[in-house]
Amino acid sequence: MNGRKKVTVVGAGNVGATCAQEVARRDYAEVVLVDVKPDLAAGKALDINQAGSVLGYEPTVVGVDASGYDASAGSDVVVITAGLPRKPGMSRDDLVKTNETIVAEVTREIAKRSKQAVLVIVSNPLDAMCHVARAVSKFPRERVVGMAGILDTARFECFIAQETGLSVKEVTATVLGGHGDQMVPVVSATTVGGVPLDQLVSAAKIRKMVERTKVGGGEIVKLLGTSAWYAPGAAAAQMVDAICLDEKRVLPCTAYLQGEYGIRDLYMGVPVKLGAGGAEEVVKLRLTAAEKKMLKLSEAAVRDVVQVLTHR
Ligand SMILES: NC(=O)c1ccc[n+]([C@@H]2O[C@H](COP(=O)([O-])OP(=O)(O)OC[C@H]3O[C@@H](n4cnc5c(N)ncnc54)[C@H](O)[C@@H]3O)[C@@H](O)[C@H]2O)c1
Ligand SMILES: O=C(O)C[C@H](O)C(=O)O
């Protein structure tokens, strides 16, 4: 295991276990999975390790229950996915009180054992849960960052590839704002093979894809009865890569804003330079007047949820 990074994933449910396997497949980290349910993390760890024989990565995943947090000590990155997912008919914001208690408890356990870690928050409502993790850990803003924008952008890019018939690898898009139905797909910064999207697709079709992206999480909840995990797990693992490998990638992440984009003291999705220091820099993107207006609406929606928190 020498020279390996250490990554802890808290919550060994759908998103957590998927993220843990994605990270294990990269083969650069020891992975610790933690879950409050007895034996769940140990069972998932065993299964992921055994898949390594087939897929070609080392069996370095360890699974523990809530009495085993010591195994997470000295982690470079901790991904927090613990908490309830929504069910059909619910909004992410309906989870706020229950998940605040869970995320606060988990963050307390993690922060005292991994004082230098970067925390990647996944639990919903995402922007609010980032506030909870920052308030409880007292880590600097760079080291508490949320995963949502990569997922929302992936949805938008997937719809664009399907609409244009062009490879998703050629699509470059970004989705900013809070991780709620008021999120902001930035059409002005979206290209396919370098060609602006509005030169390839009609305004009406773009509007339809934008609206579908904004409710993309809910579309899956309706189909599955619980929320998505393959794309969220992969998105969280991409953030783990950027941090562990100090990649300095510019990715849409949820960062604590202090004046950037005209927003202060609030977690929101923005392009971030992600490296070993966490959210090392907020990258400024020029938005149209309409996009700025959408971002303001999204900000108001996030503030409404944050103000009900005890830890903010
Ligand atoms: N940010 C995003 O884009 C995004 C995407 C998908 C899901 N989510 C959110 O991620 C969370 C997890 O979703 P899921 O589908 O994996 O749910 P899940 O129910 O499959 O897994 C959650 C796990 O958390 C565990 N848990 C609960 N309390 C805990 C505690 N105190 N300590 C340790 N573990 C605890 C549960 O036992 C469960 O195994 C939800 O809040 C969901 O809304 C966010
Ligand atoms: O939609 C959800 O509740 C889960 C997640 O935030 C998602 O966007 O898939």
Query: Ligand 1 — pocket residues by CB below 6 A?
Result: 10-16, 34-37, 40, 66, 81-86, 95, 99, 102, 105-106, 122-124, 126, 147-148, 151, 179, 226-229, 232
ipTM score for this prediction = 0.99
Query: Which among 9, 19, 35 is the best mutation to test ligand 1's pocket, defined by most ligand atoms within 8 Å of the CB?
Result: 35
pLDDT band at 194 (very low <50, low <70, confident <90, very high): very high
Give the CATH number of the domain where residue 110 resides. Answer: 3.40.50.720
Taking the centre of ligand 2 as the mean of its atom positions, its distance from the CA of residue 105, in whole angstroms, is: 22
Question: H or E stretch including 281?
Answer: strand 278-282
Handedness of CA 25, 30, 36, 42 (dihedral sign): positive
Last residue within a domain, chosen from 129, 146, 163: 146
Last residue within a domain, chosen from 146, 172, 197: 146
Question: CB of 221 closer than 6 A to ligand 2?
Answer: yes
Question: CB of 228 closer than 6 A to ligand 2?
Answer: yes
Last residue within a domain, chosen from 119, 146, 173: 146
pLDDT band at 286 (very low <50, low <70, confident <90, very high): very high
Total domain count for the chain? 2
The CA-to-CA distance between both ends of the chain, in Å, stands at: 38
Within-domain flag for 312: no
Pair (214, 277) in one structural domain: yes
Average pLDDT over residues 186-192: 98
Q: Active-site residue 179, yes or no?
A: yes
Q: What is the pLDDT of residue 154?
A: 98
Per-residue tokens: 203: 């305004």
Within-domain flag for 311: no
Name the β-bridge partners of 176. 184
Q: What is the pLDDT of residue 205?
A: 98
Q: Crossing angle, helix 96-113 and helix 126-137, to 10 degrees?
A: 40
Within-domain flag for 224: yes
Ligand (nearest to CA of 220): 2
SS3 content of the chain, % helix, strand, coil (to 5): 50, 20, 30
Within-domain flag for 49: yes
Residue carrying structure tokens 């830890």: 311
Q: What is the pLDDT of residue 111?
A: 98
Q: What is the pLDDT of residue 124?
A: 98
Pair (46, 114) in one structural domain: yes
Nearest CA to ligand 2 atom 1: 217
Residue range 44-67, pLDDT digits in tens:
999 999 999 999 999 999 999 999
pLDDT band at 2 (very low <50, low <70, confident <90, very high): low
Query: Which residues are known binding-site members for NAD(+)?
Result: 11-16, 35, 99, 122-124
Decide: helix, strand or coil at residue 190.
Answer: coil
Average pLDDT over residues 263-292: 97
Within-domain flag for 21: yes
pLDDT band at 43 (very low <50, low <70, confident <90, very high): very high
Residue range 132-162, pLDDT digits in tens:
999 999 999 999 999 999 999 999 999 999 9
Pair (136, 183) in one structural domain: no
Question: CB of 124 closer than 6 A to ligand 2?
Answer: yes
Tell me which residue range forms the domain holding 301.
149-306
Please state, in angstroms and as integers, the Cα–Cα distance from residue 66 to each residue in 63, 70, 92, following that order: 10, 9, 25
